[in-house]
Chains A and B, each alone.
Chain A
């Protein structure tokens, strides 16, 4: 084993760049999914609104403006090789310094409060939520996901019975979107986490949202489930801004992980149409 040294400063700068990118440049797969809906939409109002979303992405990119004023709380997924040694700091500090620098330089809204009851703003949009996985090798992979709370507030978890089938899974997705109704900026993306424990399926549901929307699950039974969820939820006909039309969801993305014989934990992380993330490998 050869140790690879990575300076904390590099991690900080990468996080900063990724946060700015994610907040100002709409993911190409998300933009393409919106354009596809725009082409297919026959309802006049819905088509105009989808057109405004496409314009919004153009303006944000051109003027380096945030796609949405809710520049969110930042979740960071890091996968680090066991051969990596961080020099001149540690990962968590470097992430938070990078987030703080991005929100200052990018003129993003600082939306994080230090205490959920006292509600004083930290003024830096930190701390970020950091998930770290250690694997073999000498690479460091980073994905940042700033997410607003309009849609985070509508996300849900449920502990299903182990005998539950895909019908119950689809039903919980439908129920979640129905409860969100027009409030959380449809068309939505559903990140679905299945398995693990209560907290693990919740973070998995969010991590699922990292997968490009035009790529179905590599597991056939999950690809089929994703398709069913999308079709069933679209039957709700919520539409853009809740005003009808065919555009209720852009995609459903399902990820799974091993779980216990007695349960089937499930989480739906609901995302608005402004699904933002960016990633890099160091």
Chain B
């Protein structure tokens, strides 16, 4: 299995093919529906973003809190809800996305255009993924509670490439 690190370099992305299983290490940023809405509003107004997302990986996740651990349960949420927000975020420099399920053709086209990549993480296994996260802090939109943006450091986070930079899509058979 390939091991990759964030931030994702163009040559690393170019080497990955849909269906590849990878272990990802480094920093990733959580964002789900409301954070996407806010980020895209800021982009639309030409405002600075609270996090420099250039070259970064966004994880569609709203973790459970934890009293005595780094993080609680932390699996992926459904990616398709983020489809309308994906083109502007990729244009702004986001290189990778982690979630679960299919993407729209618009999101897939943006992935190809911006040479980005979309991964799926094991779905419905949030307790299992807990052990792959070594640090967690809220970095933007704390008022959103579970939907705030968290900066996570992950070690060997298990993923599968769903859509590669060339537009190959392991879920193409469902379209």
Which of B79, B124, B160 touches A68 (beta carbons < 8 Å)? B124
Place the interface of chain A in its size category.
35 or more
A241 and B77: CB pair below 8 A? no
- DSSP majority for the A interface? loop
Nearest-neighbour CB distance to chain A for B25, whole angstroms, equals 18
Task: Choose among B78, B102, B127, B160 the residue that contacts A66 (Cβ–Cβ < 8 A).
Answer: B127
> Which residues of the partner chain A approach B158 to less than 8 Å between Cβ atoms?
52
Residue A69, interface by CB 8 Å: yes
Any chain A CB within 8 A of the CB of B64? yes
- Tell which of A63, A109, A183 touches B101, judged by Cβ atoms closer than 8 Å: A183
Contact B174 A182 (CB under 8 A): yes
Interface digits, A50-72 against B, CB 8 Å rule (1 contact, 0 not)?
00110111011001011111110
Interface hit among B40-48, B65-73, B84-92? B65-73
Q: Is the beta-carbon distance between B127 and A182 smaller than 8 angstroms?
A: no
In the complex, chain B residues whose CB is within 8 Å of the CB of A183: 78-80, 100-102
**B21 partner residues in chain A, CB cutoff 8 A:** 45
Contacts of A238 in B (CB 8 A): 174
A-chain residues with CB within 8 Å of residue B34 when the two chains form the complex: 119
A contact residues around B73 at 8 Å (CB): 60, 65-69, 71, 109
CA distance A107 to B63 in the complex (A): 10
Q: Which residue of B lies closest to A183 (CB)?
A: B101
Q: Which of B95-121 contact A (CB under 8 A)?
A: 100-102, 120
- Contact B100 A69, beta carbon cutoff 8 Å: no
Name, among B62, B69, B79, B125, the residue most crowded by chain A CB atoms within 10 Å (CB to CB): B125
Q: Report Cα–Cα, A31/B123, bound state, in Å.
A: 16
Question: Across the interface, do B72 and A66 meet the contact criterion of CB distance under 8 Å?
Answer: yes
Given contacts A69-B62, A243-B170, are A53 and B124 in contact (CB under 8 A)? yes
Binary interface encoding of chain B residues 126-164 relative to chain A, with 1 for a CB under 8 A from any of its CBs, else 0: 111011000000000000111000000000001010000
Most buried by A among B80, B126, B144: B126
Instruction: With A65-B73, A181-B102 as known contacts, state yes or no: A109 contacts B128, CB within 8 Å.
Output: no
Q: Which of B73, B75, B77, B80 has the most CB of A within 10 A?
A: B73
B64 touches A108 (CB 8 A): yes
A109 touching B127 in the complex, CB below 8 Å, given contacts A52-B122, A150-B78: no
Asked whether any CB of chain B lies closer than 8 Å to the CB of A111, the reply is yes
- A181 near B174 with CB under 8 A, answer yes
Say yes or no: is A184 at the interface (Cβ < 8 Å to chain B).
Answer: yes
Contact partner of B61 among A52, A56, A69, A108, CB < 8 A? A69
In the complex the two chains form, is B65's CB within 8 Å of A241's CB? no
Is there an interface contact between A107 and B128, defined as CB atoms closer than 8 Å? Answer: no
- Cα–Cα, bound, A65→B71 (Å): 10
Knowing A65-B72, A119-B34, A183-B101 touch, does A241 contact B130 (C-beta < 8 A)? no
A69/B174 in contact, CB under 8 A = no
Q: Is the CB of B160 within 8 A of A243?
A: yes
Given contacts A107-B72, A181-B102, A181-B174, whether A66 and B64 have CB atoms under 8 Å apart is yes
A59-B128, A150-B77, A182-B171 known, 11 other contacts, Cβ within 8 Å: A56-B122, A56-B128, A65-B72, A66-B64, A68-B124, A69-B63, A110-B145, A183-B101, A185-B124, A241-B160, A242-B174
A-B contact pairs, 21 of them (CB 8 A): A45-B21, A52-B125, A53-B128, A56-B125, A60-B73, A65-B73, A66-B72, A67-B124, A68-B127, A70-B75, A107-B67, A111-B146, A123-B145, A153-B78, A181-B171, A181-B174, A183-B101, A183-B102, A242-B170, A272-B124, A273-B124
Chain B residues proximal to chain A, CB less than 8 Å:
21, 34, 61-67, 69, 72-75, 77-80, 100-102, 120, 122-128, 130-131, 144-146, 158, 160, 170-171, 174
